[in-house]
Structures are given as structure tokens and as C-alpha cells.
Chains A and B, each alone.
Chain A
Amino acid sequence: MQLSESDMVDGLQALIDSERVLSGPAAQRGYDCDAYTVDKSKPTCVVLPESTDEVAQIVRWCNQNKVPFTARGAGTGLSGGAMPAQGGVVIATKRMNKVLEIDLGNRCLHAQAGIANKRITDAVKEHGLHFAPDPSSQTVCTLGGNIAENAGGPHTLKYGVTVQHVLGLTLVEPDGKVVHFGGKVPGGPGLDFLGIVVGGEGTMGIVTEAWVKLTPSPVAVITALIAFPTIRDATQTVADIIAEGTIPAALEMMDRGVLNAVTMAFAISYPPETAALLLIECDASAEVEEPERTVRKEMEIVKRICNQNNAIEIRLAEDEAERQKLWIARKKGIGAMGRLAPTVVTHDGVIPRSKLPEMLDHVYRIAQEQKIGVANIFHAGDGNLHPIFYFDDRDPDQVERVVRAGEELMTICVQLGGSISGEHGIGVEKADLMNIMFTPDDLAFQLKVKTIFNQTDLCNPCKIIPNQKSCVEHKMRWRGVAT
């Protein structure tokens, strides 16, 4: 039997303070999608728990009443992971933002899942430590969201993605029991369930607290912005740096499309014949012997490879202010794209790094064939592309061409040995594209692994694996095709 909205509100208000149970049109519209706005689905209620125990009570109530539930951090996800696909309850962690313990001796920090990524670093900065994953949304995105999506960021090339920085976590299982995985001592006998839950896109329960690793902050940093006359020169430089065995802290690329937007938005200029820019950062912490010298040596190697590949200009940041200026183009690039067209769609394909030159050629060809604008701004060092298609979504023909372009792009990524997502996740956005990468047998095995944790499908339903039962008919509604 389906519960009415008022039954649901009553039931949830019996568990937590009534002002932390939201319902009605404004709440429902505010929580009907994350930063992936193509698919939308309204929850009936939104709850704002403040503790693991409250989350567990809410989840148990949802189970007793067969109500689907979906966790949500800041809603900055890019693949619809926090969209309540079958309605029900959105469990928003924004009130769970406390640092619970800082253990400097063991270099770790215990926090609630709703804490903003950046606030973890703020809490330990004075001790020369930081939380390494740095997605572009880090000032607002939450630890829980980072864990769900196994988030990356520009500095993951050297420091690794979220899973490499989570030591332990508290999970409210899909049936409402509370379990703890891992702790201050990583590794050990047994199975790596922590490694499965991180990146599980919130389908394996709700992570409410985590122990994260703190990393020594760099004491020596050199940042360089290098201009190239052709795309191939820039992509070849990336491939050569990786092949050389040098691992910069960040190795990012931007093409002319992005530069045009950035130049307009921030009045930054580059040599007129620039076709692509690389942003390369080398760093070292105090734990490295002679950090300054190490970094200078690394940057010398980088500069040599850039020059071999016809670099036109190498601009080095001398101080922090200069450095921030060089990062503007990269950090604000996607935002600046808004100046070029009403709508942008950012893709997230990954390929083996030596295939970058070839892949970029495909990106431009596809955009030309489909007659849509494209700009590229991406984590080149990881082979993680972010082609941005810009178009006018009021024109259905353009929308269709953008969808076709995206599918072709993903197919080529897979053909080249890569993947359809490097860091944004599958969610609802790319569930249908999983068939490009995996056979039905592969997907059936993934579904089995999901059921180790999630056997009722009330916890964040219809994500990652395509065509799960009872999700097919919902899809039309998310897209606004049916009511």
C-alpha cells in the first residue's frame, strides 16, 4: 500500500524534529535532481538527520513502510546519483557536518559525511596537512558525496582518488543496521568491502561517518602554464611526460574553445597562435629530501619535454598569487563556458594516456559532424577527458545531436581500452551506456555484488546497472516524456 504524503510526514516527524522533515512543492522541486539536470524525479519528503542513529531510524522506517530512499550531500553530483529515481525520501546529510575527532599522531580525521570537502583541509591546515581529493566543487561538495562517487580532482594524478584516502567508514546498511568498516590501520586480512562501498554511488547503504587520511601539504610548488601551437603538440607532451616516468601533482589541458571563454570572462591573454594550454604543477612535501630542489628538477624535465614538443611559451608562477592566477583558467573554465551557449553538457570519458592525440582528433570530428560546439578542459595526466558540448537545449534537434555525439564519444573511449566515466559516476546519466562497456554477463555479476549489500532495492534504486526491474517505466517520467 502506498503511503500518502501526510502519512509519510507524520511517520518521519515521529523520528526526528518536525522542522527537519520537509515536504510540499518547494522542497520537492529543490531536491528533484543534482547537478545533472536532464533527469528529474520528485521526492515526497526530505529529511535532515543530524546523526548516524537518526539516519538508521529513518532507513528502518523506510524499510517497514516499503518507501524508497536516496542519500544526498550537497547535490553537486554530475550523473544523477542523488536523484530520487522512484520518489520516496531524500536523506540529506547537510546537517551532519561535524569534525568528530582529529588524530594528528595517526594522521587521520573522523568526520560526519555531510562535512564539506574543503572544511576537512581547513581543520588541519595549521598542522601542515590536507585532505587530498580536490574536485572542482570542493568548497561545497560533501565527504559523503566524494565517497559515494569516489571523487577525483586535478591533483589525483599524484595523490590518488577518494578511495585511497578513506581509512574507515560507518555505514547505515540498506536495511537500517549500522556497521563499521576499516579503521586507523589500513589493509589486513578479509575482503575490501570499504573499496566496494566507496564508489558505490550510494546504492550500498548510506555512509554517515568516515575516517580519512591526512596528507602532508606541499611545501614547495611550481606551477607552469604552457602554450602549444597545435592540439597534437600538447597531447604528445602529456603522453611523453607520463612515459618519462615523471608524475606531476597535476597535469591539466585546455583547448582553444575553453581559452576563448576564459579570455572573455577573466581578461587573461595567451600568445595569439595558442591552440592548447597545459597547466602543470610539481610539488613536494617536507617529507621529501630537499623539496625545493626536487621540485625544480622535476619542472626542468617537464620544460625540456614541452620544448621538444614545440611549446610557444612557458609561464611559471613565482608566488602563490601568480599560481592562483594560472589556476583560474582551469578552475573557472567550465563556468566560463556559460558565455558561449545557453546549455553545456560535460562528458567524462577516460582512455589510456597514449591515445590522447588520437582521441582528441575524434572529439573534434564528432562535434563537426554533429554540428555542435565543443571545448576541452580535462585531467590529461590521467587520460580523463571532459569534452564540453555547448548548444541550445530549446532546439530538440540540437539536443538529439548532442546525445548522439556523446554516445559515439563513449563508444570510442571504450574501443580504445578506456571507460565511460573517470570520476563523475554512472548514476542515471550513463546507466544505458554501460552496455557499451560491459556484456550482460559482466553486468549480471555486478548486480550480484550489489546484492551483497542491497537486497531490497529501496536504497537509491535505478542507478548504475541498466534496466533493473521496475526502473524502465520510470525513465520516461524522469526525462519529462511521460507524466
Chain B
Amino acid sequence: MRVSPTTVAELSEAVRTSTNASVVGIGSKAMWMLPRDQPIEEIATGALTGIIDYSPNDQVVNVRAGTLLVDLQEELAAHGQCLPMVEWNDGWSHLHLVGTVGGNLSLNLPHTLEAECGSWRDWILGMTLVQADGTVAKSGSHAVKNVAGYDIHKLMIGARGSLAVIAEVILRTYPLKSLPAPNVRFTYPSGSVEGPCHWIQRVKPTDFAQASAIAGSFAGIDIPATSTLRRSLLPDVELSRFEGDWVMRSNSGAKNLEITDPAMLHYMKRAKGILDPTNKLNPGTMGAI
């Protein structure tokens, strides 16, 4: 069964009555997710769209989570603003150019201007979310600086819809004219094969030159400012790992999400148990926690 709520109230009802739900935006990020059993219901937030309010002078926009990122960018561009994520039509465009606001922040993939302009955790000022029992809760405000209460919206970033369902997001925007040019190195060595498996790896700055050199024979891009490299690999190809690094992958089955840090796993398990005690929201999406 698939439901596409168009209001927060409908979303709340859908979540409340579900027992084992796949929570998606429009489903464009499936290639990055862990494989899992067929859920009973699908709750798609892709119909919960539109800007609720936008104050260009304040550089703050409040948008429904199902709004396509491209649609939001277009609205912001009309006022000389944007969310500072720049991507190219180079085989990586699906990273951010497709999908919804909620879906993108739930996956939290690295982007090319992170060092200069920050990422979702820097842009999200507040959120409306639907808890596993259907209760609606808000956090944050429209102000760009705020320390009132716990930053619960930060927990939703990268949570892949497993803790609560995001309904609305208050974001700070960025003036287009002061957007820096991304410092990116394309590596498309001759004879390199572009595979279907995306590999995103971030290492310590001191390991970056070596990591990049080792990965040099594969097609992709380097983002030196954040010591991040992306490569398109054939299935089952592994690149070298470095101390303290992390990797996110697509089309690689169980390797799509590999979290081994014991403290992270311990608290992920606890967060899931407290916020979604019956394990109804995207079960298994964060691994076996």
C-alpha cells in the first residue's frame, strides 16, 4: 500500500496507522540505501510540496519536505539566492539535482562546496517532524542563531527516515553572487572504466594526496578542500582505506552503509529504541541496529 499525504495532518495519520513503513521522498536515492525486506506500506512525502514562507531579506526559507530540490533552487534563484550545492551534469548529477529536500538531508551526501558554505547541519534552522506515534513536533526557529532547547533536527540529518518523518524544514539560504567557484579536480584517465558503483570517501587532509593518487586510475572527481574523493567503480572494486576515514557507496548492497564505530552504533541503537520503539519507520535502513 502506498500513501502520498499532501498535508502534515495526513502525514501524521499515515505514520500513526502504519506498522512497517518504507518512508521515502520520491525514491530517487534508492541506489544509496541498504537492501531490505519488502515493507508493508510506503509513505511517500513527495506530494507534501511547496514553500510555506520565504523572506529573501532574512535569507531564510521554510519549505515542505517533499519539495523537489530543483524546484526550491529555482524559487530561490529568482531572488538571487540558493542552497549552496553545485553539481555538474557529469554522471554525478543525481547526487543532489534530483530528489526532495527531505530525502537529500536524510541521506546527507557530501557536496562540493562544503568547506566554503557548510552542509545541511549548518543550513537547517528548524524542522517540523512527525514522530513514530504520529505526534507532530517542531524544533528551532526562523532565526539564524539559536540555542533554545536540544537541536533535535540535527539528529534527522543522515538518519535515512529511520527516527521520524520530516514534514517541513526551515533553511538559511545563500546569496548566489557570493557563491564561490568550487575547487574540484576531474579525473578521467584514458582507458578508465566508469562503473555503476559510486564511492565517496573522505580522509584526513594529510592522507588526501596519497588517497587521490591510489584512486587516480578510476574516473571521478576530487574535492581537495574537504579531502573528499568520488569515483565510479565497477562492482566489487575496493579502494584503499585510511585511518579515521569514512566511505559511502551506492549500488553495492550491504556495503552501501558501513558503520563500525562502536560509540556510534551504541547511540544509534538507543536513539532508534527511544524514538521509534516499534521499529516501524524504515526498519533496517541504518543497518542491524
Residues on A facing B (Cβ under 8 Å):
105-107, 149-150, 152, 156, 160-161, 163-164, 179-181, 183-193, 195-196, 199-200, 239, 242-247, 350-355, 379, 382-384, 414, 417-426, 430, 434, 437-439, 441-446, 448-453, 464-465
Contact = CB atoms under 8 A, between A and B. Distances in A.
Contacts of B155: 191-193, 195-196, 449
B185 interface: no
Contact of B244 (A181, A184, A244, A443): A184
B175 to A, nearest CB: 3
Given A180-B263, A187-B110, A190-B259, A452 B147 contact: no
Interface in B112-134: 114, 118-119, 121-122, 131
A441 B129 CA distance: 11
Nearest to B122: A164
B148 A434 contact: yes
Interface stretch (B20-28, B70-78, B88-96, B264-272): B264-272
Interface in B136-179: 136-152, 154-155, 157-159, 175-178
Contacts of A160: 118, 122
Most chain B beta carbons < 10 A, residue from A246, A353, A419: A419
A316 to B, nearest CB: 23
Interface stretch (B39-47, B50-58, B232-240): B50-58
A185 B227 contact: yes
Contacts of B202: 185-188
Interface residues of B, number: 66
Contacts of A199: 147, 150-151
Most chain B beta carbons < 10 A, residue from A352, A382, A423: A352
A130 to B, nearest CB: 17
A383 B205 CA distance: 35
B145 A350 contact: yes
Nearest to A437: B148
A245 B263 CA distance: 40
A294 to B, nearest CB: 11
B56 A243 contact: yes
A382 B145 contact: yes
Contact of B149 (A149, A353, A464): A464
Contact of B267 (A184, A193, A247, A352): A193
Rank and list the top 5 A-B pairs by shortest CB-CB distance, nearest first. A245-B175, A417-B142, A188-B246, A445-B137, A195-B154
B31 interface: no
A193 B261 CA distance: 13
A439 B137 CA distance: 8
Interface in B50-69: 55-60
A354 B55 contact: yes
B149 A434 contact: yes
Interface in B234-262: 244-246, 248, 257-259, 261
Contacts of A443: 149
Interface in B76-120: 80, 108, 110, 114, 118-119
Contact of A192 (B121, B143, B204): B121
A103 B206 CA distance: 10
A451 B150 CA distance: 11
A386 B272 CA distance: 39
Given A193-B263, A350-B144, A355-B58, 5 more contacts: A107-B205, A190-B158, A419-B140, A426-B147, A450-B150
B136 A441 contact: yes
B143 A179 contact: no
B177 A419 contact: no
B5 to A, nearest CB: 19
Nearest to B259: A190
B288 interface: no
Contacts of B263: 179-181, 193
Contacts of B264: 181, 190-191, 193
A189 B150 contact: no
Contacts of A445: 131, 135, 137, 139, 152
A163 B226 CA distance: 17
Contacts of B176: 245
Most chain B beta carbons < 10 A, residue from A164, A191, A200: A191
A422 B143 contact: yes
